[in-house]
A = this chain, B = another copy of it.
Amino acid sequence: MKALVTTSLDPLTLELRSVPDPRPHPDEALIEVHATALNRADILLAIRRPVGSPLGLDVVGTVLSPAADGSGPPAGTRVTGLAANNAWAELAAVRTDRLAAVPDSVTDTDAATLPVAGLTALYALQKAGWLLGKHTLVTGASGGVGRMAVQLAHAGGSKVTAWVGSEARGTGLAEFGAKVVAGYEEPPTTPADILVDSVGGEVFTTGYKLLRRGGMATVFGNTVRAELRLPADWGHARPGVRIEYLFLLDEITRRDVPADLALLLALVTSGKLVAELGLLTPWTDPQPAIAALHSRSVNGKVVLSM
């Protein structure tokens, strides 16, 4: 089969190569891949693996052979899920406990935006728990996960402040019910119960200081790659505030991923979650997608179609 593999790590370059067909483990279904999305996580993983490695987490396709152990969806089912760095290929073997059936109402490209970005946003908010009537501050709200977090928080009845780097990056977020604050030099001032942060540095510190007692700070990224710094009264001035870092590939080991994907798919079907497509490009030409993600020039998700 054909698969995208890295041919250079700096700059990151991918090429279609002929590779052996996957040989599924007993708990893996063999998927004919229709679409995949490109995430910052993919790029971070790509540059940490040897040149020539396959890649790809988000996978949408049709089950060619169900898992030998009888688990998961039968042949012919259209599915979405989390592959193990092997989604950017014609065929992918994927664990059935990382897959969910896609309803007809959700397109391949929409479904491809959900696993990494949707689950990260969902789990970030679930760590806070109760949403109804709370106030959620999402930093880096223009990113793939950020836009999902804004919508999920809103769908759960939370007020939402979406903090983005610029007016242009905030496009569309107000339509999801968010108050948009543009520019990291002009911080929001409204106290919050929940902070979902992926920026780090001063932006995280500012967001943290806005948390009310009993609040929750979930962090899933550190774009500025700065150390975490909080004032000396970080705890005592904010009783009961929790801080937790969410690393999706660790988090899923403790989650019911099929059920959680089913929830996200149902929210897309009901219109509560819009899978925003920022760029759709054929997988035979992945470089524009990588460039778009690097330059943060695209609002919404970057999807490769097979």
**Chain A, 185-221, CB within 8 A of any chain B CB:** 200, 213, 219
Q: Is the CB of A240 within 8 A of B232?
A: no
Copies in the complex: 2
What is the size category of the interface that chain A forms with chain B?
A: 20 to 34
Cβ-closest chain B residue relative to A245: B235
Cβ-closest chain B residue relative to A200: B232
Cβ-closest chain B residue relative to A250: B239
Q: Is the CB of A222 within 8 A of B232?
A: yes
Which stretch (A10-18, A93-101, A166-174, A223-231) binds chain B? A223-231
- CB-CB under 8 A from A227, the residues of chain B are 229-232, 234
Q: Which of A225, A226, A232, A246 has the most CB of B within 10 A?
A: A232
| B229, B240, B244, B250: the one within 8 Å of A243 (CB) | B244
| B213, B219, B226, B241: the one within 8 Å of A235 (CB) | B219
- CB-CB under 8 A from A225, the residues of chain B are 232
Q: Which of A213, A228, A230, A250 has the most CB of B within 10 A?
A: A228
* Interface residues, chain A, with chain B CB atoms under 8 Å away: 200, 213, 219, 222, 225-236, 238-247, 249-251, 254
